[in-house]
Amino acid sequence: MYSEKVMDHFQNPRNVGEIENASGVGTVGNAKCGDIMRIFLDIDDNGVVQDAKFKTFGCGAAVATSSMATEMVKGKTIQEALQVTNKAVMEALDGLPPVKVHCSLLAEEAIHAALWDYAEKHHIVIEGLQKPKNDISEGEEEEEY
Ligand code: FES
């Protein structure tokens, strides 16, 4: 049911953890399954993603897609990082079963939420970026989970 790449990224997820003083942090949730994903981005002065880490409280496909998505945005410019869509992540993982497509959407939204946070902190507008609908970052400082 799952490709070898999905299994690999699920069993050996890359970039698990947090980035202290991250340039942007995005937390998104899926209301249906209740899964939550948080992505941390370290973006340098040239707008290049130097590092990306994630924490996922979710299913195996969510872990695999966050692992792959964080790998894919590293070294990319903000505009290039915006192109790391759920489709691109799924392709890189050699596909996901149809019922798991929404899990990859969470990864795309978490990246967008982290970029949104970065843009807000730097008072800039990132062309083509909209605040993700499932962004639950509001007041995350106080939240513990
Ligand atoms: Fe919810 Fe996969 S089942 S993210």
Rounded to 5 degrees, φ, ψ at 29 are: -135, 150
- Of the candidates 11, 17, 18, 33, the residue annotated as catalytic is 33
- Sign of the CA dihedral with 137 first, then 44, 56, and 95 last: positive
Q: Does any ligand 1 atom lie closer than 6 A to the CB of residue 59?
A: yes
Q: Is ligand 1 within 6 A of the CB of residue 78?
A: no
The 10s digit of each residue's pLDDT in 36-59 is: 999 999 999 999 999 999 999 999
For atom 4 of ligand 1, which residue has the closest CA? 103
Q: Comparing 138 with 23, which gets the higher pLDDT?
A: 23
Q: Judge whether residue 143 has pLDDT over 80.
A: no
Which two structure tokens, joined as six digits, stand for 54? 């994630």
Q: Is 59 a catalytic residue?
A: no
Mean pLDDT of 70-89: 97
Residue 90 contacts residue 106 (beta carbons within 8 Å)? no
Query: What mean pLDDT is predicted for residues 86-92?
Result: 97
Give kind and range of the element (H or E) at residue 114: helix 101-121
User: Is any ligand 1 atom within 6 A of the Cβ of residue 41?
Assistant: no
Residue nearest to atom 2 of ligand 1 (CA): 103
The overall pTM is greater than 0.85: yes
| Domain 4-121 in CATH 3.90.1010.10 | yes
Averaged over 56-84, what is the pLDDT?
97
33, 66, 89: which to mutate for ligand 1, most atoms within 8 A of CB?
33
Please state, as a whole number, how many other Cβ atoms lie within 10 Å of the Cβ of residue 144: 4
Alpha helices (H) in 13-97, listed in sequence order: 60-73, 78-82, 86-92
**Catalytic residue check, 103:** yes
Measure the CA–CA gap between 101 and 37, rounded to whole angstroms: 15
pLDDT category, 100, cuts 50, 70, 90? very high
At residue 141, does pLDDT exceed 80? no
- Pairwise CA distance, residues 118 & 104, whole Å: 22
- The full set of domain ranges for the chain reads 4-121
CB atoms near residue 116 (< 10 Å): 20
Q: What angle do CA 67, 84, 101 make, to 5 degrees?
A: 65
